Amino acid sequence: MKILIINNLYHPNAVGGAEKSVEVLAEGFMKEDLTPVIVSTADIDHAGIVNGVRIHYRKIPNLYWVKSAKEQSPLKKPLWHLIDSYNPFVPSMLAGIIEKESPDVVHTNNLAGFSVAVWKAARRSGVPIVHTIRDHYLLCPRSVMYRNDRNCTRQCLDCRILSFPRKMLSLYVDGVVGVSRFILQKHLNFGYFRKAKIKTAIYNAADMDARSEIARTRNNTITFGCAGMLVPIKGFEYLIERFKKADLKDARLHVYGKGLSAAYERRLIERCRSDKIRFMGHRKPEEIYSNVDVMIIPSLADDAFPRVLIESYSHGVPVIASNRGGAPEMIAENRTGFLFDPACKGDLEEKMRMFSDDRDKAGGFASYCLEAAGQFAREKIVKQYMGVYRAVMK
């Protein structure tokens, strides 16, 4: 079975967890004797092979490449989003790739930069379409549905206008997968994917071939960690403020990741400088989890699926996560971690104090975390997707 996987970014252009999840999935298909072929955006047309996976990189006509969006003038962005609501240059490009590759299934993921015009091209080619919802792109041009420091419960006018083609063309999708039940149901509630015969949730896959608890040096200091792109909606500023306010004895906080921009990162570091807080930059997972006792996912926005959570579990590290988005589906309270409400004053401090007051608690959760990681095992997730592919091919 050949799967044409479309995602707006792919290695070496990855910037977030969604790209990593697509990469892990594609490489997992190869172990099951499926043939994944990637189509991704780039600044020039070219082809490549990454870990045995063949990739078509394509420059999509628009005002700028999606990866460079943060560097662009605000004056360009409205027109870019207008073109991206349905990019008329995409169908012919994708039709050529489909004709060349002859896939059994087209599997679309994050489409910012391509637009939903890929669905029309796939439908014209008669190839079944599976789409994985990884964020709010189909509902919101900014992909977050977060505005004025709160999560949106409905679409504003510009979102309704720009997402109209996305809703209409979702009728072409044969199978829809949410990376959490939360993100799937949210789209179904807004009337998307009404004709899809498969509607299911499949979590992201862990990229560790074997789950393993990393040895950590146990001492009188407890280390909390957080990781991801440093942007306000991810809640890093909120976490740092709460950590300072908690004034936990013998506790420190490690912040991993890069800023949305270098200027923002510098401002954040300067404003939040403290003897107990260290900004670690980008690090490999094994470097992160060997130095962290508890991970915190402080997202203020409704994150569809925080990839940090499964990486933490896979290393036996418990998690404190906000009760937003998909995270509540994956936290077993008092076994793999705790949830907190960002709107509830003192709630996060209380959850951090549970670990700082009992230094053995994090280690006691390790076995439960490793057990929970099993539901994200790559081979298990791959088989679930294979089941969806077979269903839409009937």
CB 189 within 8 A of CB 219: no
Amino acid at 222: I
Residue 258 has what pLDDT?
87
- Among 255, 383, 261, 372, smallest CA distance to 314 is for 372
What pLDDT, on the 0 to 100 scale, is given for residue 271? 84
Q: Could you read off the pLDDT of 193-205 as tens digits, one per residue?
A: 999 999 999 999 9
Domain 2-205+377-393 and domain 222-375, same fold? Reply is yes
What pLDDT does residue 233 have?
92
CATH code that applies to domain 2-205+377-393 = 3.40.50.2000
Torsion of CA 12, 13, 17, 22, to 10 degrees: -70
pLDDT at 301 over 80: yes
* 210: confidence class by pLDDT, cuts 50, 70, 90: very low
Kindly indicate the confidence band of residue 213, based on its pLDDT and cuts at 50, 70 and 90: low
Nearest to 116 by CA among 85, 76, 157: 85
Q: Which among 125, 201, 208 is positioned nearest to 387, based on CA atoms? A: 201
Cα separation, 88 vs 266, whole angstroms: 40
pLDDT for 217 beyond 70: no
Q: Does domain 222-375 have CATH number 3.40.50.2000?
A: yes
What would the pLDDT profile of 8-58 be if each residue is shown by its tens digit?
999 999 988 899 999 999 999 999 989 999 999 999 999 999 999 999 999
Which of these, 168, 189, 175, 194, lies nearest to 302 by C-alpha position?
189
Give the count of beta carbons closer than 10 Å to the beta carbon of residue 126: 7
Residue 71 scores a pLDDT above 60: yes
| Mean pLDDT (the chain, rounded) | 93
pLDDT value of residue 260:
75
Between 137-141, 162-166, 279-283, 385-389, the lowest mean confidence (pLDDT) is in 279-283
pLDDT of 215 above 60: no
The answer to whether 152 touches 302, Cβ cutoff 8 Å, is: no
Any idea where the domains of the chain sit in the sequence? 2-205+377-393, 222-375
CA distances from 245 to 15, 250, 268, 362 (A): 31, 14, 17, 22
Judge whether residue 214 has pLDDT over 70: no
Q: Kindly report the backbone phi and psi dihedral angles of residue 155, in degrees, each rounded to the nearest multiple of 5, phi listed first.
A: -85, 135
The neighbouring-strand residues paired with 256 are: 227, 281
